[in-house]
Amino acid sequence: MHSLNAPQREAVLYTQGPLLVLAGAGSGKTRVITEKIAHLIASGQREARHIAAITFTNKSAKEMKERVARRVKGDAAEGLTISTFHALGLRFLQQEAGRAGLKRGFSVFDPDDQMAIVKDLMPAGTRPDVLERLRGLVSRAKNEALTPEQAMERAMSAVEREAANLYAKYQQRLAAFNAVDFDDLIRLPVQLLEADPDFAAGWRERIRYLLVDECQDTNGAQYRLLKALAGPRGSFTCVGDDDQSIYAWRGAQPENLNLLARDYPELRIIKLEQNYRCGQRILRLANTLIAHNPHEHLKTLWSDQREGDRIRVWRCENSEHEADRVAAEIDYLSKAKDIPYGEFAVLFRGNHQSRPLEKALQLLRIPYHLTGGTAFLERAEVKDALAWLRLVANPDDDAAFLRAVASPARGIGGTSLARLAELARQHQLSLDGAARQMSVLKQLQPRIAAALGEFAGIIDRLRDDAERLPAKDLVMALAERSGMLEAFRATSKDKAGYERRKANLEELAGWFDGPKSSVGDLAAQMMLLSHADRGEPGNAVRLMSLHASKGLEFRAVFLVGLEDGTLPHEASLEEGRLEEERRLLYVGITRAKEHLVLSHSLETRRWGETVRLTPSRFLDELPQGDLLRDGADPEAEAASRKARGRAHLAAMAALFEESK
């Protein structure tokens, strides 16, 4: 702890009441949280089993666990909870399933499952955008921890009333499936805790100290969960930064930081303002930009890193020209400054901006990784295996049944499944239950009835396997019994394709290292993993959206597409919502440690026409003395172009030699 600065040490040692740590970008907030956990345990103030730390990604939770393990001796950290909000909610519901109206082994539905229910409940032919809007309104009501009845009471328009109606039917369908969705993992614990003070007090005895990371990203329901678990005594440390709140589109409410002071009058506030990441000039850019936003708690980041060169602002002809300049500069810096490719990031407002960048990097043979590509858990064979596991654990999971029965295909088409679903509703059975009823099967074509009977037999054998096999072995058992591996052999173009899909299932099996009886719980936990939880992409340039870059840092950062209509986004300009767009650029700037380039294009092509673009208004909010705009210093630019030109020609010559 001796290496902590004074505010960090104060934040670690203060345990007398509620605490808010305002942690600026690069100020060491994760270290403060892990040191505080270690201090609470080592000082004997709290046993590890009574401490819970909440993060926003499983990847962050894993990193925090590893740091705590290095700081705490022996088994003193045993029983410590470090998880995401949703994982904590899942654990809560698994322990309190009966109180929540659930049976053990309930399923967690992902967005695809949710949309399938919404589509089924709405009239045939409802437009996809209408379905998505209604699903979003249902999700918003849940994120405010509202019941369907409360959502109807608050409805102010016809579409909100339609969404509240849908919400009620949607919940009935989830109950029939013995399932919850992601939003329920927070909403249900909040409603149970708020409804019964004695029950809430019991949970506060289990969790006697709470630490919450990225508090500015909490939505209404998450904030209420925090309050319900912390209770009136406020034994918590919340860490956040209102300047890095960039998730309003998914319900984040940065004003929750201000609510803490209202709900806990004795709240102590400690500011972490020393930045350990950025050069002074980069930090000055960030501070000047974000000062244009209103602040409840003003803070000014400072750094003792070197000043650094002036920040270049590129004026490019179009996105292709911009991409070529980015690729050439990465090629130059990687060689001239010996910067590994993995220390470069190219950040943009939307993923569609990656296409010309990928082409330019490919041309120079520069390895890159596009964040937001097909995630491991979104691969078809992985989702299929998870559906089988969900169905093995929960016979009422109709969404899992529909995916599993079609993966691999066994000659049961959509019309037959619709008929099965109709008969299941008539008999008040799940699809799995209906597939086992002779009275139901007799009303189907003999070929379909036989296929369903065979499918039910496979599920039965896998349920027997689940009683005796470790969960990781069950994954490969189902891959064999279900016919997946055989289907891979038949449908893969070559042996490599088969091996790749099989390897994905083997990797999934490796994730299941829990006890053999917890296959249902493990399948549910798998549903909570996100893009942010994948492993590192290795030594490759990172292409990613500004939203995805939060929490990361790189030696060299390129911010592209800085035009009005892109950043700030067109919708934000029309609606006057510039504060979050400004925070988004602030987050991008503060990812850079040494080198930062800001670029914009003069024109683009839209619907076959050339459209002139206006540089982002945010560029004029930056300290102009710290910028080096194209054309401002012709002599320096000429020397720079000469050096980079030589490097580019050398790279192209090397490629030519390789191609001989």
Among the listed residues 35, 181, 184, 214, the single catalytic one is 214
Sign of the torsion formed by the C-alpha atoms of 630, 631, 636 and 640: positive
Among the listed residues 213, 241, 331, 594, the single catalytic one is 213
DSSP letters spanning 326-395 = HHHHHHHHHHHS---GGGEEEEESSGGGHHHHHHHHHHTT--EEETTS--GGGSHHHHHHHHHHHHHH-T
- Token pair, residue 384, equals 């299929």
DSSP-assigned beta bridge partners for residue 315: 600
Q: Which amino acid, residue 101?
A: G
User: Which residues, in sequence order, are CB contacts of 95 under 8 Å at separation 6+?
Assistant: none
Largest CA distance in the chain: 87
Among the listed residues 9, 10, 15, 30, the single catalytic one is 30
The Cα-based distances of 186 to 117, 168, 547 in angstroms read 20, 18, 23
Question: What three-state secondary structure class fits 628?
Answer: strand
Catalytic residue status for 442: no
Q: Please choose, from the candidates 576, 578, 575, the residue with its C-alpha nearest in 3D space to the C-alpha of residue 292.
A: 578
Among the listed residues 29, 142, 299, 312, the single catalytic one is 29
- Token pair, residue 71, equals 């700081």
Cα separation, 589 vs 585, whole angstroms: 6
Cα separation, 518 vs 510, whole angstroms: 15
Instruction: Check: CB of residue 345 under 8 Å from CB of residue 557.
Output: yes
Beta strand pairing call for 209-212 and 19-23: unpaired
Instruction: Check: CB of residue 118 under 8 Å from CB of residue 196.
Output: no
The Cα-based distances of 525 to 373, 385, 472, 521 in angstroms read 22, 14, 14, 6
Cα separation, 407 vs 635, whole angstroms: 64
Catalytic residue status for 214: yes
Among the listed residues 244, 353, 525, 590, the single catalytic one is 244
Catalytic residue status for 29: yes
- Token pair, residue 38, equals 């270690």
DSSP-assigned beta bridge partners for residue 610: 605
DSSP-assigned beta bridge partners for residue 83: 54
Question: What three-state secondary structure class fits 214?
Answer: coil
Catalytic residue status for 591: yes
Residues assigned a catalytic role: 29-30, 213-214, 244, 591
